[in-house]
Amino acid sequence: MKKKSPIFNMVLSALFLAMAYVLPFFTGQIPQIGAMLCPMHIPVLLCGFICGWPWGLAVGLIAPLLRSATLGMPPMFPTAVCMAFELATYGAIAGLLYKRLPKKPVSLYVSLFVAMITGRLVWGAVMFTCLGLTGGSFGFSAFLAGAVTNAVPGIILQIILVPIIVMVLERLERSKA
C-alpha cells in the first residue's frame, strides 16, 4: 500500500481499535469461543498491514488492555497483559515485514505467518514470566494448548480473511489511482 498521511493512519488505526474492541461481542462473551476465534487479532493484523508497523504495534498493545480496563474481559492479569504483548508483536511484525518484502502475494502470507508465529512465541514467553512471578507454572503443554490447539479456528480464520481483505483493499487503491 502506498504511504498515507499520519492523520489518515491515525483515523484508520482508531477504526481498527474500535473493531478489536467490538468484535469479541460477536463471540457472545463466551471465553472458550473467544479463545478459539481470536477476534481481536484480525483488526490488529490488518492495522499492521494497512497502516504500518508503528500503528499495528500501538493498536495491538492498547486493544486488550482497554477492553480489560473497561469491560473486565479479558481479565487484566495475566491474560490481557500477555495478549497486549502478543498483539503488539502481530501488528509490528506484519507491518514491518510487509513493508520490507517484495510486493507479491507470497510476501503477504510470509508476513502473516511470521507475525502469527512470533506473536504466539512472545505470548508464551510473557505468560511464562507472568505466571512465574506469581508462583504459577506455564509448561510447554499449556503453551501448545493456548497458542495452537485451542486457537486453530482463529488461526484458519486469520489465514483466510486477512490476505483477502488486504488484497481487496490494495486492488481498490490501485483502481482509484
Q: Cα separation of 18 and 123, whole Å?
A: 22
Q: Cα separation of 63 and 95, whole Å?
A: 17
- 131 and 91 in contact (C-beta within 8 Å)? no
- 84 and 69 in contact (C-beta within 8 Å)? no
Write the pLDDT tens digit of every residue in 133-176: 999 989 889 899 888 888 999 999 999 999 999 999 999 988 88
Q: Cα separation of 62 and 12, whole Å?
A: 15
116 C-beta neighbours (distance < 10 Å), count:
25
In the chain, pLDDT over 90 holds for what percent of residues?
77
Q: Cα separation of 42 and 52, whole Å?
A: 15
- Domains of the chain, each with CATH number or no CATH: 6-176 (1.10.1760.20)
Among the listed residues 136, 92, 137, the one whose alpha carbon sits nearest the alpha carbon of residue 115: 92
Q: Exposed, middle or buried by CB within 10 Å (0-12, 13-18, 19+), for 3?
A: exposed
Q: Cα separation of 46 and 105, whole Å?
A: 15
Task: Give pTM, 2 decimals.
Answer: 0.94
**Residue 35 predicted with pLDDT over 80:** no
Write the pLDDT tens digit of every residue in 75-99: 999 999 999 999 999 999 999 999 9
| Torsion sign (Cα): 6, 7, 8, 14 | positive
Distances (CA, A) of 9 to 20, 46, 76, 93: 16, 12, 28, 17
Instruction: Tell me what pLDDT residue 103 has.
Output: 86
Distances (CA, A) of 173 to 16, 66, 118, 166, 177: 18, 31, 29, 10, 7
